[in-house]
Structure 1
Amino acid sequence: MPRLADHSADTRMLLLAGMALVVGTGGAASAWLLLHLIAIVTNLAWFGRFSVEPALIIDSTLGVAALLIPIVGSVIIGLMARFGSDKIRGHGIPEAIEAILYGQSKLSSKVAILKPLSSAISIGTGGPFGAEGPIIMTGGAIGSIFAQRFRLTAAERKTLLVAGAAAGMTGIFGTPIAAILLALEVLLFEWKPRSFVPVVVAVLTALAWRPYLVGEGPLFPFDASFAIDTTTLVLAALTGLLTGFVAAGLSSALYRIEDGFHALPVHWMWWPALGAVVVGIGGVIEPRVLGAGYNSIQDLLDGSLALKAMLLLLAVKAVVWLVALGSGTSGGILAPLLIIGGAFGGLIGLMLPGGPGPWAMIGMTGVMAAAMRAPLTAALFAVELTGHFDALPATAATAGAAYAVAVLILKRSILTEKISRRGRHILQEYSVDPLAIAQADQIMTPAPETLAEDMPIVDAIRFFEQAQHRSYPVIDAQGLPIAIASRADALRWRQTNLAEGVTLGELLSDGSMPVVHPATPATDIANLMIAEDMGRICVVDPQSGALIGIIARRNLLSARAGKLREERERGAHETRLAWKRGEKK
């Protein structure tokens, strides 16, 4: 009997943790490489020079001629997607989720190369995206490719894929806790030590590399702050409610725009170029909307943008980002969400204590939590990104309120809607399986009717003609189960010329029948039924081995149904109590 424990971890977890050191290094290196690729493309496209130094598109003096740069970049991306890999289209996270759930966590080396390259071209030529989605996809591809070099299971490949993705995010933003939470809330689809520990190792490895590759300290520090009191928490929650509606509107608009592109009578390869026309026009109206816009995030947090500038940034960034992403080009969603949420929060902050800077951080938290359905990630991401850990209660209030609005308004998030449109529904709720907390003695049928091993086959055939059940355990003289006899067996015996006097024990006993003990978890029993292709499992006394009960498939289903019935009946009971209280009043 397997050792019962709270977790299913074994020494394989340590092996994966060791591999995560390599994957974490790869994720950090890919973050460094992507940032340098973006800088190279930006310098070439907008300034005509080859340099890896960061450059701001708003410093360009090309004027109206700059309309062509996003279009040229998008044509290149369309060609890369058409003749390279169409998996580079979009922002990367849905593709990573799909690979985890439906592709055995296998990503190709082609994706690992083309995704950062296409994203660098997209962002560097003015695409209104961030680097986080592509680096999550690239880091995930590194983890997946590394895992495929060894004899690992699909679950272990998933662990290293997610570890690489979280490491890449940490390498870009320096937000290790948020990266771990993103893995748990969005990518892993489980909470197990075998995946959690390697992800932590990979993230901390990337964080250790970050000062040498990208830099140290918060990415967007700012000075302004507000006191965390009751008023601030209430205002933060109200802001969260509003940002929940903003995020819901963005998600709905994105997929309406995507539907519009699908209706065009041109090949999808050309859609990014058509979307880039809108991006170019938006860049002429407000140059801040072009590129990743990290400088705009800093300006919003510093509170240095005036009312008109924030209004323009909010409206134009939302339009160009939605159109560009809907067209299927390559780029991330996190930076645009931060800018849109930051501009919205900053506008609200003009009327609230503390000024626009801290409320821009609150707005960023709300939009991210609602759009990605990742409230814990959003709350921690905002404070790690800025270094304002004292604001965590406020960001938590905002994230919780925004998340509540989003899940009530929209059936799916901005990440899962695309997967759903491909005919695959994803449930993003975790709960304890009723079978995981039930044991054999709690769901078995005790003292079942049995057949003796010395029963002649002729009598057994006659018995099954009148039997109430389809199968019965066969026991020996000491009460130990030796086999399961079924009605199907009886039909087969009737059509077979068996020697007279043959008994059930002589025909069925081979000493290999699996049994379980009273403390065996129901999940193990279900797995045993599947592995042995058996409809019934005998429960025996652990000391004597005597039969004490039997478990059929309906017993397992009853355990699950009981949990559902418990939830429904509890709700009905509370409703009746509420009605009674109302009547008394």
Structure 2
Amino acid sequence: EGPIIMTGGAIGSLIAQMLPVSDNERKTLLVAGAAAGMTTVFGTPIAAIMLAVELLLFEWTPRSFIPVAVAAIVAEVERTLLHLPGPIFPFSGTMEASVTGLGGWVLIGICAGLLSGLLTQLVYACEDAFLKLPIHWMWWPMIGGLVVGIGGLIEPQALGVGYDNIANMLDGRTVATAALLLLVVKAIIWSVALGSGTSGGVLAPLLIMGGAMGAVLSGILPEASPGFWPLLAMAATMGGTMRAPLTATFFATELTGNTHVLVPLIAACATAHAVTVLLMKRSILTEKVARRGHHIIREYRVDPFALTRVREVMTTNVESVPAAMTLHGAAAFLTAPDTRHPSFPVIDEAGHVLGVIDPPAILRWRRNGKHRKATLGELLSGSKITLAYPDEYLEALSDKLLLANVSHLPVVSREDERLIGYIGWKDMMRVRSKKQAEERYRTALLSFGAKRKAPQSVGESAV
């Protein structure tokens, strides 16, 4: 499945290079090709779309969602016209929802999360071990192949794509002892193969190892249809290891053609995801990228600048200077010991902003030979000024500051253009600090009779 997904991505990239598109649109077309390739192999268009959203693009915008959805849907239609089988692993089993059943779903999710953490650590432990070997890296795949061969002698079922193993587990034909041996051998040879640099997949091996764990645990879990617990373990292991619970849920549903297991699947996948988040900083996929020096954020975050208006953070008690002030007076004012700010808006008698003065502007006027008795109103006459408005969002304001190459802007009313505030980068940064504080500090709003302790101030905590 790996080569066809990469081939689909390459086709999407080639098409994008022939079209006049932006870099982000080119990336979207690459991912659309990969989603089409995944759909062609597995017949899972919804899971392919979710994979693009959760792992590859990690954004939910029409610009990215629609091309990926179109590619996956068209690939599914073409797949049907080519008479490719679907679903690949038909499964009709289910389990009635109950408290006991919920406990089993959560337990299988916890075990899958622990297995996901173990597999991730094992892969990168093998990679670190190969890096320490006193031999050239070109010998590493040979050693990895040797380990895979030995594993195949111990358990031949661990070799190959493994689709027969998945089908046998879903049919309930895999006994616990055989499943345990398959799990151990497959985990070792898969980890060593990937750690040595040998080409290997992720999806099918995770399904096999997760299914084997589910087959082992079936004897102690509540009674269900044969293959039900291996199916849940497959999806939960995939979702936990790749940190893609929604992709794993829909992937298992579409692979089996069974929508009756959606709730158990999402329960197990969400539990596995929670366990892996607590155990590891990154997934098995993003760890590789992080080791190359790149930082990846995989959480949806809304830019606080896009939600905050200027009037919410601007300084309302504005210190300004009159237009009648002379150049000499402005220089003395800016260099006075009690002057606290680097720039000040200049206003006329009606309160309209004529411009902003700061030390560089004073020096520029002096170098240009302006008379020391010239007023600021005369010096700023005809100059272009950038203004902010109280109903603007900080997202647009940041662009204004960047284009004007200034650190502060006067805020004026839209009705009469009178000065009502002043805003700078420092005020905008407080928005991010406030957002972080909202996520960090926890307080109970209902005390139920218990007296809440007031939080200490910074001064009190320092005593």
Alignment TM-score > 0.5, same fold: yes
Structure 2 counterparts to residues 315-394 of structure 1, below 5 A: 315-352=184-221, 353-394=223-264
Choose which of 207, 231, 237 in structure 1 pairs with 2:106.
237
How many Å separate the matches in 1 of 2:68 and 2:279? 32
Q: 1:557 aligns with which of 411, 426, 429?
A: 429
- CA distance change for structure 1 residues 281 and 526 in 2, over 3 Å: closer, same or farther? same
> Following TM superposition, by how much is the alpha carbon of 1:450 offset from its aligned partner in structure 2, in angstroms?
2.4
**Which position in structure 1 is the counterpart of 2:460?**
none
CA distance in 1, matches of 2:385, 2:22: 28
Matches within 5 A, 1:27-46: none
Equivalences for residues 190-209 of structure 1 within 5 A: 190-209=59-78
Maintained 8 Å contact 1:174/1:384: yes
> Which secondary structure does the structure 1 equivalent of 2:84 belong to?
coil
1:374-394 deviations in whole A, cap 9, x for unaligned? 111112211111111110110
Distance of 1:471 and 1:135 partners within structure 2 = 60
The offset of 1:180, in angstroms, is: 1.6
Residue by residue, what CA displacement relative to the aligned partner does 1:489-523 show, whole Å, maximum 9, x if unpaired? 22444455323543434444555433232221112
Deviation at 1:351, TM superposition (A): 3.7
Separation of aligned partners in 1, 2:184 and 2:146: 17
SS in 2 for 1:539: strand
Give 1:76's aligned residue. none
* Partners of 1:328 and 1:579 in 2: CA distance: 61
Partner of 2:325: 455
Tell me the equivalent position of 2:416: 544
The reply on whether 1:473 has 2:345 as its aligned counterpart is: yes
Report the CA distance between 1:154 and its aligned residue: 2.1
Q: Which runs of 5+ in 2 are unaligned?
A: 454-463
> Which one is further off, 423-432 or 328-337?
423-432
Aligned pair 1:173/2:42, yes or no?
yes
Q: 1:255 is paired with a residue of what secondary structure?
A: helix
Q: Is the 8 A contact 1:453 1:476 kept in 2?
A: yes
Aligned partners of 1:540 and 1:548 also within 8 Å = yes
Which 5+ residue runs of structure 1 have no aligned equivalent? 1-130
Residue 265 (structure 1) aligned with residue 134 (structure 2)? yes
Quick check: 1:411 aligned with 2:281? yes
SS in structure 2 of the partner of residue 415 of structure 1: helix
Q: Is the 8 A contact 2:175 2:216 kept in 1?
A: no
1:162/1:452 Cα in 2 relative to 1: closer, same or farther (>3 Å)?
A: farther
Q: 1:420 to 1:483 in 2, by over 3 A?
A: same
Q: Give the 5 Å matches for 1:506-545.
A: 506-508=378-380, 510-545=382-417
Conserved? CA contact 2:317–2:421, under 8 Å: yes
How far, CA to CA, are the matches of 2:211 and 2:59 in structure 1? 31
> Separation in 1 of the partners of 2:380 and 2:29?
46
Q: CA deviation at 1:486?
A: 1.1
Q: Is the 8 A contact 2:239 2:245 kept in 1?
A: yes
After TM superposition, the runs of 4+ consecutive aligned structure 1 residues lying more than 6 A away are: none
Counterpart amino acid of 2:431?
Answer: A
After TM superposition, the structure 1 = structure 2 runs for residues 22-421 of structure 1, keeping only pairs within 5 Å, are: 131=1, 133-213=2-82, 215-352=84-221, 353-421=223-291
Q: Which residue of 2 aligns with 1:106?
A: none
After the TM superposition, which of the residue ranges 148-157 and 245-254 deviates more from structure 2? Answer: 148-157
Distance (Å, rounded) in 1 between the aligned partners of 2:421 and 2:246: 45
Q: CA deviation at 1:311?
A: 1.9
* 3-state SS in 2 of match to 1:445: coil
String of CA shifts for 1:109-143, please: whole Å, max 9, x gaps.
xxxxxxxxxxxxxxxxxxxxxx1x44443333332
CA deviation vs aligned residue, 1:300-331 (integer Å, no higher than 9, x gap): 11112223321222111111111111111223
Q: TM-score, normalised by structure 1?
A: 0.72
How many angstroms apart in 2 are the aligned matches of 1:578 and 1:384? 48
Residue 373 of structure 1, CA deviation: 0.8
Amino acid at match of 1:335: A
Query: Aligned in 2, Cα 1:509/1:280: closer, same or farther, shift over 3 Å?
Result: farther
SS in 2 for 1:483: strand
Q: Partner letter of residue 224 of structure 2?
A: G
> Do 1:224 and 1:302's aligned partners in 2 also have CA atoms closer than 8 Å?
no
| 1:269 positional shift | 2.8
In the TM superposition, residue 227 of structure 1 has moved relative to its aligned partner by 2.2
C-alpha offsets along residues 53-84 of structure 1, whole Å, 9 cap, x if unaligned? xxxxxxxxxxxxxxxxxxxxxxxxxxxxxxxx
Shift of 1:298: 1.3
- Aligned partners of 1:378, 1:484: CA distance in 2, in Å? 57
| Alpha-carbon spacing, 1:440–1:258, altered in 2? closer, same or farther (3 Å) | same
CA contact (8 A) 1:461 1:494 kept: no
Letter in 1 for 2:235: T
Q: CA–CA distance in 2 between the matches of 1:510 and 1:202? A: 55
- State the alpha-carbon separation in 1 of the partners of residues 288 and 52 from structure 2: 19
Q: CA–CA distance in 1 between the matches of 2:73 and 2:79?
A: 10
Deviations 1:433-487 (A, max 9, x none): 3222110111111252223445332222122122321011233555333422112
Per the alignment, residue 31 of structure 1 pairs with none
Q: In structure 2, what is the Cα distance between the partners aligned to 1:471 and 1:253?
A: 58
Query: Cα RMSD over matched residues?
Result: 2.5
Structure 2 residue aligned with 1:87: none
- 1:485 equivalent in alignment to 2:365: no
Q: Which amino acid aligns with 1:225?
A: T
Task: Pick which of 484-493 and 237-246 moved more.
Answer: 484-493
Shift of 1:561: 1.4
Aligned position for 1:446 = 316
- Measured in 1, the distance between the counterparts of 2:437 and 2:178 equals 55
Which residue number corresponds to residue 458 of structure 2? Answer: none
Q: How many Å apart are 1:364 and its aligned residue?
A: 0.6
Deviations 1:368-414 (A, max 9, x none): 11101111111221111111111011011101111111111111111
